[in-house]
Amino acid sequence: MGRTRADMIIETRAKLISAGRRTFAAKGYAATSLEELTAEAGLTRGALYHHFDGKRGLLEAVIDQIDAEMTERLLEIFDQSESRWEGFTNELVAYVEMATEPEIQRVVLLDGPAVLGDPSHWPRQLTCLQMTMGNLQQLMEEGSIRTVNAEAMSHLISGAALLGSLWIANTSDPERASRELVESLMVLLSSLLPLPQGSRPAWP
């Protein structure tokens, strides 16, 4: 009933990931020293190199954990929505607001792609993005939205949300920016709704 060995391992990994989240978010990946990161966790670099594949490996683990939390939060929001379309849009709005949090923005959205490359090719690619694409496909099958290429469209939409969040977080009045961005986002998303026959004007 005392601390078994496996428990210690789990605890150590958790401490390292936790310190990683704090330090990466506060100082950025490049400016983070593993020495002080591990010291903050009450460990040494030896532990880190034993459990993870170096600095990169820790970043991957940190991003995985943050992504899991994001997914959970988004799923909850989706479940509380009335329709699938409403859930889809609510999720995106929530995503934009979440992406304003420094931990997510700095670690997942800025350093992540720079260090690990294209998010859609990560080992465990961002579950949030997959949710967006899945929703699009379901909505198309339901006939709730127009037929488009779900993959391409989901990348466009998540990209819009990403840069939008970056803008919000760095503006002097984030509240106002957030409202304006969500409003504009809904305009863009409205193009997914099915067209009444012939109602769309030809481009000027």
Partner DNA sequence: TAGTTGACATACATGATGTATGTCAAGAGG
Partner DNA sequence: CCTCTTGACATACATCATGTATGTCAACTA
Using the rule CB under 8 A, give the single segment among 3-11, 35-43, 68-76, 167-175 that binds its own copies: 167-175
Q: Is there binding between residue 83 and its own copies (CB under 8 A)?
A: yes
Give the whole-angstrom CA distance, residue 79 versus residue 47: 40
Q: Is there binding between residue 117 and DNA (CB under 7 A)?
A: no
The item of its own copies, DNA, none sharing an interface with residue 144, based on CB under 5 to 8 Å by kind, is: its own copies
Comparison of 32 and 89: residue with beta carbon closer to DNA = 32
Give the residue, chosen from 9, 152, 163, 186, that forms a contact with DNA under the rule CB under 7 A.
Answer: 9
CB 103 within 8 A of CB 25: yes
Residues 11-70 that bind DNA (CB under 7 A): 12, 32-36, 38, 42-47, 49-51, 54-56
* Chain position carrying tokens 């998303």: 189
Taking the alpha carbons at both ends of the chain, their separation in whole angstroms is 75
Comparison of 41 and 192: residue with beta carbon closer to its own copies = 192
Site of interaction with DNA (CB under 7 A): 3-6, 8-9, 12, 32-36, 38, 42-47, 49-51, 54-56
Contacts to its own copies by CB under 8 A: 28-30, 83, 85-86, 89, 110-111, 113-115, 117-121, 144, 146, 148-149, 151-153, 155-164, 166-167, 169-170, 177, 180-181, 183-185, 187-194, 196, 199-201, 203-204
